[in-house]
Amino acid sequence: MCDNNDKPCCGAHKEIDFGAADEILNQYRGKEGVLIPVLQKIQAEYGWLSQPLVEHIARELNIYLSEVYGVVSFYSQFYTEPRWRYTIQICRGTACHVKGSLRILENIEDELDVKAGQMTKDGKFTVEEVNCVGACGIAPVVILGQKTLGSITVAETLDALRNFEEQ
């Protein structure tokens, strides 16, 4: 059993309700080139793509499991590990790099004691590096939850983290 119910479940031991997935699958079944949109929609529903889910998708679309995993692992937007609702995305594009985004990332990692790509121990945040989010004019950019923070310094980022209020 999951020892902490506040965290997203790892999904390995629990029965997953495929209802929502089936609804999405039904819209796409029999069409060509649908794997990516199906994975996107299902991930949006479930938060991440657990193994039982991926197996279910492969079965329903009649595609080899290896092929589905091939696609899932290729694109950076698909997650095969649980994520918490709040993500901290640190832009690591060129403009942000020149404006010191690496320092911001390192300091966030130290502050929260995690590495990029991981979830914090209290399960509150997932820290993520992203490539350019297209707001280079206000680099460096950090996206905290839903909020885009532009032209931000190390100190301001740490402040924003400490004062983050859950919506």
Instruction: Answer yes or no whether residue 58 interacts with ligand FES by CB under 6 A.
Output: no
From 13-21, 52-60, 118-126, 131-139, give the range in contact with other proteins by CB under 8 A: 131-139
Largest CA distance in the chain: 53
Task: Tell me how far, at minimum, the Cβ of 84 lies from other proteins, in Å.
Answer: 19
Task: Tell me how far, at minimum, the Cβ of 125 lies from other proteins, in Å.
Answer: 19
Instruction: Answer yes or no whether residue 58 interacts with other proteins by CB under 8 A.
Output: no
SS3 104: helix
The one of ligand FES, other proteins, none whose footprint includes residue 47, by CB under 5 to 8 A per kind, is none
Q: Look at the block and give the residue holding tokens 């492969």.
A: 58
Length of the chain: 167
Strands (E), the chain: 86-91, 125-130, 142-144, 147-149
Q: List the x/- string, 11-50, binding to other proteins by CB under 8 A.
A: ---------------------xxxxxx-xx----------
At 79, give phi and psi (nearest 5°): -115, 130
- How large is the C-alpha radius of gyration of the chain? 18
Question: Which residues contribute to the site for ligand FES (CB under 6 A)?
Answer: 91, 93-96, 132-136, 139, 141
